[in-house]
Every structure is written in structure tokens, then in C-alpha cells.
Amino acid sequence: MKQLGPYQILERIGSGGMATVYRAEMMTNDGVKKSVALKILHPHLAEEESFVRMFLKECELAVDLRHENIISPFDFGEIGGRYYMAMEYYRGLNMRMILDTLEKQNLNLSLSSGIYILSEVLLGLRYAHRFTDREGRVREVIHRDVSPQNILVTTDGDVRLIDFGIAKIMGETGFTDVGTIKGKLQYMSPEQAGGKDIDRRTDLYALSVVAHEVFTGEMLFPARQPTRVLRQIQLGDFRFSEEFYVLPSRLQRTMRRSLGRNPNKRHEDAKSFRSDLLTVARRDLSEYVPQKTRKELGMLIRSLIEPVEAGDEEIRLPTALVESNVSEGHGVESSVSTDRDPFWPRIFVYGCVALVGLALLFEIFGVDIRPEQAEPTSNARVVGKVNPAPQRMRDRRVVPAEKPARKKVILP
């Protein structure tokens, strides 16, 4: 299939449980070619009336979600028996690809970049959670699938939440049954994993699980077996990584709050969650300028995206002269087992990098005791599927002195 109505299909971007996404081009009324992301319902699902109705319902909802931190469709319908949704195309990488690609090179994001990305996602969630439709009715739109795969960072440093495909409009039954578990298991809230009623705080819980991975480089629920993951989530049975305990104490408290089993003990809304993150940025980071972070983040994505597109195994990041510095960690709470050593020394290395005429600050951070990581996991969105845990999540119980030291580069 090379053409679908006005859309010329160029390449396949990815596929999920309900549809395949392609990069395509269309001709505007001004005669200018425009790149679009074209989402086409799987052929076997297009034959099922219930799925077609679900797909069209998703389109009708998403087309009205207009926010700079959300990617929404501008066209949808049916052509030749194929149901489609057309969206703006943005060049960038999703957070799953970013985290996996950086990990292969022993790299990680800085606190400032992580806070910036999460705070932008929260702006999009706040809009969706308080969405007002064309009739003036307030409708709480829950994403239900907040995960690294659904957070896009563009080459301009913009952050956008994608795929409200399994979103539920509160107050309507529709085709998203309360008892149906959807989304990626590792990022589900306890109430969602149990098939119970959910509200906006489910999205905040999921984003906190994402935050743990962004700030520490480790998944909070790495188990492979779906039943074990579900049990851990519902019981609140998880252990923070060593890296968590060297985060600023305010950030630890913020994440703990939104990871509570009881929704009533979490942040009330996206605004309060974002406020806490920005308080961490103001009080615990020596210099946090969102626009500067955005620019540096865009530079980082551009430096990552070309080798990813070319299929290179290594990221050709610019090199710089470095110098090491040792920094103190924070204390450990009693819930951590004695074989974990949060006081293990961490090394900071700073370097200035010239890239596209601008200086990109690299901060070399930490002695890492993790094993080599496996290949990045699949981005396919399959209902109820557990994404395989990266290899680095295994055998955490190792005495640090017996492991070779490894530097972790903190990018903007």
C-alpha cells in the first residue's frame, strides 16, 4: 500500500495492538508537501464492528484535544475499507528509545532534563483531566497508558504525550470496560491492575513509575511474569533502586507520594505533582532554566536520532576534556536491605561540548554496578503485555567493590 487517499505512505514507524503507524506525506491546499503520521487500524480489526466503533470513538475524542504537549489528529475516517487517523508528524524519539539508547552507551539523563520532561507531560495531563468539550461539558479524560513509549521528545526539545487510544471518558461506559486491563503492566496503578474504577490519579501513578526509570535508569517493576507484576503492583510490593536514595530528598518524597497504593494519598492532580517537581528544581538544582534545558534536550535528541535511524550500534556523541569530582550521597532509609550500599561513591565529570555552534554540558556522574544491558525492548503496544526487563535489572545483590567501576554520563 503506497497511497491512502490524499496520503502517500513513505515508511512504517511502528505497530501497536490496534493499529500501525506510518510516516506519510500529503499535499496542502497551498501546494506544499506536509509530513504526517498516519495511524491505520489493523485489517483484521477493521472487520470487527466493535473495534471500528472503538477506533472512531478514539478519533472523535482525540481530535478535540488541542494542547502543545499532546499530539492530536487533524483528520480521520475510512478509505477503501481502511480506517485511519492522520496526525502532525514530529521528528524525535520516545522515552523508551531514549532511555534504552543512552543505556547502551552508559549514559543517563540529568535531573534537570528529567524534571523538564515530566513537568511538560504533566501540563498535557492537566489539560486532558480538565478537558471541556464543544458543548461546554467538563469531561475527565484519562490516558490510562502513560509510559515511556507514549512520551515523545522532539529534535526541538518539545515534549508531547501521544496515543490516547485507550483513554476513558469518565461518566461514559463506551467500549473501555472497567474490568478490562489495558496498557503496559509495569506502569499500571494498583486500581487499574485490579480492574477497578480509575480517575486522573491513575495517570499520576503511572508517571511516577516512569519517573523512577528516568531518574535512576531502572524499572520499578522489572519482573517478566504478568501475574507476578500484577501482584506486586496491587500489594505495593516494590523496592526502590540504589540510585533512588541519592536523589534529592524532596524528589524522593514527591515520587513516594504519587506511588501510594491508596489514590487518596497521592497528589490530587497534575498541577500539584508538577508544583512539587518544580520546587525540587528551584531548591535542589543550582541552575534550572526550562528554555535552556529544552534547547539542550533538543541538541541531545538530534545527536541520538541520526545513528538510531542509520542502525549504528554506537552513538557518535562529541568528546570533551573531563575532570572528576566526588559527591556525597543521601542517607538510606531502613526499608533497604543491608546489602545495598547507597553511600557508594559517585563520580561527577564535567565537560564542555561544541555542537551546532552551541555548548552542551556533559556531567559525568556515578560509579554504576549494573551488568551489561540487553537489546532494547520492543515498542509494540500489546494489551496486557509485559515488556521484557532490560538485562541490567538482574542480580542487583552484588557487593560494589567486586564490580568494575563504570562512569555514567549525565546529559542535559
Q: Which three cell numbers stand for residue 149?
A: 513509549
Distance, in Å, from the CA atom of 148 to the CA atom of 232, rounded to the nearest integer, reads 20
Name the nearest CA neighbour of 401 among 343, 352, 353, 324. 343
- DSSP designation for 83: E
Distance, in Å, from the CA atom of 350 to the CA atom of 408, rounded to the nearest integer, reads 11
Q: Which three cell numbers stand for residue 164?
A: 490516547
Distance, in Å, from the CA atom of 11 to the CA atom of 24, rounded to the nearest integer, reads 7
Strand segments, DSSP code E, in 188-345 are 323-327
Distance of CA 261 to the CA centre of its chain: 21
Question: If you search the block for the grid coordinates 535489572, which residue do you land on?
Answer: 393
Name the nearest CA neighbour of 14 among 150, 114, 139, 144. 150
Name the nearest CA neighbour of 119 among 159, 149, 157. 159
At residue 103, φ and ψ (nearest 5 deg) are: -65, -35
145 as an active site residue: the answer is yes
- DSSP designation for 333: P
Enumerate the β-bridge partners of residue 358.
355
Name every residue whose Cβ is closer than 8 Å to that of residue 361 and which is 6 or more positions away in sequence. 296, 350, 351, 352, 353, 412
64, 133, 145, 312: the active-site residue: 145
H-helix segments, 107-197:
111-129, 190-193
Cβ count within 10 A of residue 350: 16
Catalytic residues: 145
